[in-house]
Amino acid sequence: MQRHEQAVWNETSSEGYEPLLSEKDRTTIDVEFEELPDELTRESLELPALSEPEVARHYTRLSQMNYGIDSGPYPLGSCTMKYNPKFTEDVAARSEAAVHPDRPEEAVQGTLQLYHELQEYLGRIGGMDAVTLQPPAGAAGEFTGILVAKAYHERNGDGERRSEVIVPSSAHGTNFASAAMAGYDVVELPGDDDGRVDLEALRSAVGEETAALMLTNPNTLGLFERDIEEIASVVHDAGGLLYYDGANLNALLGRARPGDMGFDIMHYNVHKTFATPHGGGGPGAGPIGVTEELEPFLPSPQVEARNGTYELVEPEHSIGKVHGAMGNWLVLLKTHAYIRRLGDAGLRDTSAKAVLNANYLASQIDLEIPFGPFHHEFVASAGERDAAEFAKRMLDYGVHPPTTKWPEIVPEALMTEPTEAESKTTLDQLAAAFNAVADEDEETIAAAPETTSARYIDQTSAARSPRLSWHALSDDA
């Protein structure tokens, strides 16, 4: 019989035609089927009879109940809600990017190369000798960094004595939490009158008990800690380590490096500085960088390049793993893509525009801004008005409000960070929203928002007992 490479149809020959599937399948599987138990069956499915466009429109409308960075400006201070460019999504969606974490090193050399490059890029950007990409968020990076500091002190026989971590009162809540979770007593450091670290207070707070000082620079008022070198020597002279909270790195990108200021450990919030999406509780990344001295304590594995191949290596005194696999790879890949696309010049440009935008916006709004000169963010005061109500009213003007009531040193704080991504037109729209609300009476402000899908919500219950599914809602009803 002649073999055909292509499927054929030849009615006249019994052997010459392409078999049907049912003719191809000559296997019989001997399986005994059992009836499904009653509790797993249902009488009907009650599926709504809708067309595809009706379903597409339904979900698109639901998506519009939320306000996101793709809907408009999002000047949430300290959070750096910059626009997430879509090309990084394309990169992360490529099938080559989906690598199973258990594949052997030799089969994933390309992935390890990108991983290694990102370790190097972040190290260069922060002025750090070694970087781990493993922690899944900024807060997780803080916790990892403090565990590294702890392992270092313990190794030096100094673990028990060094029982304190110093945190400025203006710091993010996660700094206090990370230090406490790592088993430290947290010492709160008051600021000075111009909103910076009070050197005298610092000198009297440090001592033999000091494990580390955690600091962000610029601080949460957007102010650069001008005495950073002095701060570093005070902490180092006492035998402590200096931890950099990288949340405000966008202000310095390509211009100044925490490592050069004397910081020993830092985290990078890639969703703030490098345009990966804010996780919203989903997968994120908060790599940390450390000096050479601390490198042996990093989580395992690290990626090292040896003779042209990339290897997974366990640092000598590693604190172990802080996340499954090697961190949230696809988030890290977006970070890599963003850094490569911008390059050195683009990263420098980012910080310049972030600072310019913040200063322009501040110059256009009619509210008091008690501290300055500031960098990438400023903290205005809502004055006699309640900052949270002021913020909710801004939603009615079609923009997302700033962060409220933090840092506490500014009464009724509106912590505002427009980021480099916004145009002058958008900044003017933001300023107009601030000014419109500033002119309104208390009653109007307190009744807001009027135009949003959800009105004034109970934020505490929303955070503590969220109802995340339709079932939870219908059970309540």
Ligand X SMILES: *Cc1c(COP(=O)(O)O)cnc(C)c1O
Which residues are near ligand X by CB under 6 A? 78-79, 137-139, 172, 174, 216, 220, 245, 247, 269, 286
Helix-helix angle 109-126:329-364, to 10 degrees: 30
Min dist. Cβ of residue 225 to ligand X (A)? 13
* Residue with Cβ nearer ligand X (215 or 394): 215
Min dist. Cβ of residue 282 to ligand X (A)? 12
Instruction: DSSP letter for 415, please.
Output: E
Burial environment of residue 181 by CB neighbours within 10 A (0 to 12, 13 to 18, 19 or more) = middle
> How many helices (DSSP H) and strands (DSSP E) are in the chain?
16, 12
Min dist. Cβ of residue 338 to ligand X (A)? 16
Tokens of 436: 């419109």
* Residue with Cβ nearer ligand X (313 or 409): 409
Cβ atoms of 130 and 288 closer than 8 Å: no
Omega cis (within 30) before 301: yes
Cβ atoms of 70 and 423 closer than 8 Å: no
Sheet arrangement for strand 210-215: 130-132, 288-290, 265-267, 241-244, 210-215, 164-168, 185-189
* Residue with Cβ nearer ligand X (78 or 335): 78
Tokens of 235: 């902490």
Min dist. Cβ of residue 79 to ligand X (A)? 6
* Residue with Cβ nearer ligand X (112 or 171): 171
* Residue with Cβ nearer ligand X (92 or 288): 288
* Residue with Cβ nearer ligand X (145 or 286): 286
Cα(439)–Cα(383) distance, integer angstroms: 12
Cα(246)–Cα(217) distance, integer angstroms: 8
Cα(303)–Cα(133) distance, integer angstroms: 10
Min dist. Cβ of residue 117 to ligand X (A)? 22
Cβ atoms of 265 and 148 closer than 8 Å: yes
Residue with tokens 């007593």: 185
How far, CA to CA in Å, does 46 sit from each of 38, 43, 254, 477? Answer: 18, 9, 58, 20
* Residue with Cβ nearer ligand X (288 or 437): 288
Burial environment of residue 153 by CB neighbours within 10 A (0 to 12, 13 to 18, 19 or more) = buried
Residue 200 CB partners (closer than 8 Å, separation 6+): none
Tokens of 469: 């599914």
* Residue with Cβ nearer ligand X (144 or 220): 220
* Residue with Cβ nearer ligand X (116 or 278): 278
* Residue with Cβ nearer ligand X (318 or 328): 328
Cα(84)–Cα(465) distance, integer angstroms: 30
* Residue with Cβ nearer ligand X (168 or 315): 168
The CA angle 98-99-102, to the nearest 5 degrees, is 150
Specify the DSSP element, H or E, that contains 134.
none
Cα(206)–Cα(214) distance, integer angstroms: 12
* Residue with Cβ nearer ligand X (88 or 248): 248
Min dist. Cβ of residue 141 to ligand X (A)? 7
Residue 48 CB partners (closer than 8 Å, separation 6+): none
Minimal CB distance residue for ligand X: 138
Q: How many CA atoms lie within 13 A of 461 on its CB side?
A: 4
Min dist. Cβ of residue 64 to ligand X (A)? 25
